[in-house]
Structure 1
Amino acid sequence: MDPQTFDGYWLGYLAGHSRPSTRLVHYLGLFFAPIAGIVASFLLVWWAFLVIIPLFYLAALLTHPLLEHNSNKPFADRPLWSAIALLRMLALDMTGGLGRQLRRLDGVARPTP
């Protein structure tokens, strides 16, 4: 995996998010929680996003040491690529194409935690 290309980064990102539970918490914490936080700010109280977003982001962050037993640091070094990879992972998971990408990891050296 060459982290200098997006495809290399993508494979590393996918390896770091290989468990379905990790992906689910990331989808909730990094995609759906911000949307819910903004909606709640308009419908409930203005500061709702200040509670919802950090809480769910923290949950997504903790999946790395608690579920994947790795670090999120490799993904934090490239925030734009990380955001693109999250959206790609979510879209592929929702359309049934993620399995093919996960199979690409077979035989590829995975990053050490």
Structure 2
Amino acid sequence: MNFRSLDEFWVFYMNQHSKPSTRRWHFIGTLSAIFFFLCSLLFSWWFLFFVPLTGYGFAWYSHFFIEENVPATFAHPFWSLLCDFKMFGLMLTGNMDREIKRLGKRPVLQIF
């Protein structure tokens, strides 16, 4: 699938994250990755090993076992990362439900 803009990709991304538990696992993964990144800056560069392990590990778990789809990271790694941080920010500020409503409907699962 080709996307012309990040906004267009965002709608697809939200379709791939239709279940609240999928989004929660992503939140945990992103928070863990940020934590280990900060630990690498403050203590030892060895903590960098855990950044992708936790960030992608929690997210991919949610896609394979909860959402039952293929992570968008495989086809669109850069846009997926940007959208993951956007979703993290919306969840952190309590605006995720508002964003789902803004999209016009609850995102639905899109299977290849």
Partner of 1:59: 58
| 8 Å CA contact 2:19, 2:67 repeated in 1 | yes
For residues 105 and 61 of structure 1, do their structure 2 counterparts lie closer, same or farther at Cα, with a shift above 3 Å needed?
A: farther
Residues 6-45 of structure 1: matches in 2 within 5 Å?
6-29=6-29, 31-41=30-40, 42-43=42-43
Partner of 1:100: 98
Bigger radius of gyration, 1 or 2? 1
Residue correspondences, number: 108
1:5 matches 2:15: no
| 8 Å CA contact 1:13, 1:85 repeated in 2 | yes
Alpha-carbon distance in structure 2 between the residues aligned to 1:54 and 1:107: 29
| 8 Å CA contact 2:37, 2:48 repeated in 1 | yes
Q: Structure 2 regions of 5+ residues with no counterpart?
A: none
| 8 Å CA contact 2:17, 2:67 repeated in 1 | yes
For residues 9 and 49 of structure 1, do their structure 2 counterparts lie closer, same or farther at Cα, with a shift above 3 Å needed?
A: same
Deviation at 1:70, TM superposition (A): 0.7
Partner of 2:83: 85
Q: Structure 1 regions of 5+ residues with no counterpart?
A: none
| 8 Å CA contact 2:25, 2:59 repeated in 1 | yes
| 8 Å CA contact 1:15, 1:105 repeated in 2 | no
Alpha-carbon distance in structure 1 between the residues aligned to 2:27 and 2:107: 25
Q: TM-score, normalised by structure 1?
A: 0.73
For residues 47 and 85 of structure 1, do their structure 2 counterparts lie closer, same or farther at Cα, with a shift above 3 Å needed?
A: same
